[in-house]
Chain A
Amino acid sequence: MATELLRVEDLQVEFVTRDGVARAVNSVSFSVAPGETVAVLGESGSGKSVTAQAIMGILDTPPARIAGGSIQLLGRELVGLPEDQYRTIRGEQIAMIFQDALSALNPVTAVGKQIAEMFRIHRDASKKDAKDHAIQVMTQVGIPAAASRYDSYPHEFSGGMRQRAMIAMMIALKPQVLIADEPTTALDVTIQAQIIELLQQLQSETDMGLILITHDLGVVAEVADHITVMYAGRTMEEGPVDEIYRSTAHPYTRGLLQSIPTIHSAEGRLPAIPGLPPSLFALPEGCAFHPRCPISQDQCRQGAAPDLVEVADRHRSRCWYAEEVMCSDNLR
């Protein structure tokens, strides 16, 4: 068994527009092992979804283009892979579930049939076999009375059931890597918990690698083994989940952690991160986070951005003052 299913190395994605070139993903690297969950965390515009689209080979090109780096799936290079070959990989080896199941499912085709199509197209299954397989995965993802719901349409499913149906479609061919882009954001908390549990259960059954793209640190704490925190296209901090939460080494991550409301936090104001993420067309000089950073110094405001440096075993931070941030536990 390979120790790595997927390795993203120094990935660079650019958007070429009339207003200039925006570097949406700027040398991002991470890897996923069997059974491992890697969370890519960031706000809107941080480049997390673009990273996922680059891996899946579904970037809108143009305006987007992969400007550098490599994406290796089971040792095979995906960057530059022709579309017809990519098509055999998608669904079979790597699949992606989306935030909005209603728009990811075909509204005029019965849910069961959409799942069965996976077997028809990729496995050349007979109609009957495909249907049987589809009902089987529908049951596996916890859709009650799957056989009788085979002919239901997406709009006849509730939000949680739709999400399950999409998951069924994506795990139908047992991909080794599953990318989940904000899989629970549109759902109620009780249903959120069910979907997260389903993903974990599927993962333990099949040992697939899971890449969780999210802005929700609560969900991440629950399922992730490893976290990559992105900001303005760059990795700001990465490391094992306990390390990130216990000894945060970047002021941005710390800000994110502090700004989450929890049922245990005190009433009243939350320590919000001031300001907004920068425009990718006008990144600040120096560290991209400095205009919003509570501890920024002259060094942060000019020259090159700090490097991603190791602060503990497998834990790296892109901050000149990473050590200081780690030591100041009074903030949390």
Chain B
Amino acid sequence: MTTSDDVVVKAVGLKRLYPITKGILFKKKIGEVRAVDGVDLQLLRGETLALVGESGCGKSTTGRLLMGLEPADGGSISVLGDDLAELNSRQMRAKRRDIQMILQDPYTSLNPRMNVATIVGEPFAIHPEALAGRSRSEAVRELMDRVGLDPSMVNRYPHQFSGGQRQRIGVARALALRPQIIVADEPVSALDVSVQAQVMNLLLDLQQEMGLSYVFVSHDLAVVRQIADRISVMYLGRIVETGEAGSVYAAPAHPYTSALLSAAPIPDPAAQAERERIKLSGELPDPADPPSGCRFRTRCWKAQELCAREEPDLVALSPSHSVACHFPETPDDAN
């Protein structure tokens, strides 16, 4: 059974609102975007939790909230047992040693005027205690070796590397302080397929070697398949389905999850022709003005009058699989 020791990140009722303002000098709030609106999640030691959804669903904001990069407007986050809201800035800084981030775009997330030694070594400038007696250059070389970069390239600049290599630099930087938790925000979506696989494999290997826990933010259910132990599907700031990866893929319960799975391309013309696709009409509604009741109802083919009236709660279908839908899919629907 899960003990509290195994929970490395726990978020309850997480909220993040962005005000919409009007006026230049005298800003007046005319509305708000509820980017994250009541998200609960729990990350266990050594596991990967995938946050999946379309752009604008709040998955990246959730990642940033977990990192303490943005203040939450409601709810609480505890990382390794400490409530982030109660930490002062010095304690928060120490906490960041345990939780690090890998960003999506390896082209803009690396300073073009710093060489690899400076980029990967920068965390040690902030946390010299993490060096533990080694010299900084020694530590940087070790890290480069670990992520599959030739340590002799330590004096090169980001533009001298390919996209995949740059992402490895980003991974090395994230690993420098030996964190226990890594929030990876779309770490491979900017890469070519063949390189994507290399970076995914690297992340899997590092997780095994170092016992890392990942929050993996992605819009692509196919990419997440390789790495996720559990999946939380987000839509307009809320988690609509969460569960063990195997169970979510085999028997998606929320219509939105089914639609996402059915939209994922299959690299096989015959299989592609055979399968029935669920076409999701329209796009994400305006997050400043979400639909009443179930937020997905405007694009849902199963929506009924009840869905407009009442917002469904996240209800457990089994101990490891919950869904927020009035009319969840049953395994029979899938066939």
Do A and B truly interact?
A: yes
A residues at B contact (CB < 8 Å): 43-44, 158-161, 188-194, 197, 215-222, 241-242, 245-246, 255-257, 259-265, 267-274, 276-277
Residue of B nearest to A332 (CB): B268
Measured between C-beta atoms, what is the minimum distance from B246 to chain A in Å?
Answer: 8
Q: Which residues of A contact B270 (CB under 8 A)?
A: 242, 245-246
B267-288: contact bitstring with A at CB < 8 Å (1 yes, 0 no)?
A: 1111010000101100110000
B residues at A contact (CB < 8 Å): 54-55, 162-165, 192-198, 200-201, 204, 219-223, 225-227, 245, 249, 259-261, 263-270, 272, 277, 279-280, 283-284
User: How many A-B residue contacts, CB cutoff 8 Å?
Assistant: 135
Q: Whole-angstrom distance between the alpha carbons of A84 and B261 in the complex? A: 48
Main secondary structure of the interface of B (DSSP, over half): helix
Contact A160 B283 (CB under 8 A): yes
Contact B267 A189 (CB under 8 A): no
Interface core residue of B223, B261, B267 (most chain A CB under 10 Å):
B267
Contact A217 B197 (CB under 8 A): no
Contact B264 A267 (CB under 8 A): no
Q: Whole-angstrom distance between the alpha carbons of A215 and B198 in the complex? A: 16
Q: Whole-angstrom distance between the alpha carbons of A188 and B280 in the complex? A: 12
Contact B196 A259 (CB under 8 A): yes
Contact B204 A197 (CB under 8 A): no
Query: Can you give 16 A-B contacts (C-beta < 8 A)?
Result: A44-B162, A189-B219, A191-B54, A193-B277, A194-B279, A216-B265, A218-B267, A241-B269, A245-B270, A260-B267, A262-B267, A263-B221, A267-B227, A269-B200, A272-B194, A272-B197
Contact A219 B193 (CB under 8 A): no
Contact B193 A256 (CB under 8 A): yes
Q: Whole-angstrom distance between the alpha carbons of A193 and B264 in the complex? A: 8
Q: Which residues of B contact A263 (CB under 8 A)?
A: 221-222, 225, 249, 261, 264, 266
Q: Which residues of B contact A268 (CB under 8 A)?
A: 204, 226
Residue of A nearest to B219 (CB): A188
Contact A261 B222 (CB under 8 A): yes
Contact A245 B268 (CB under 8 A): yes
Residue of B nearest to A191 (CB): B283
Contact B201 A222 (CB under 8 A): no
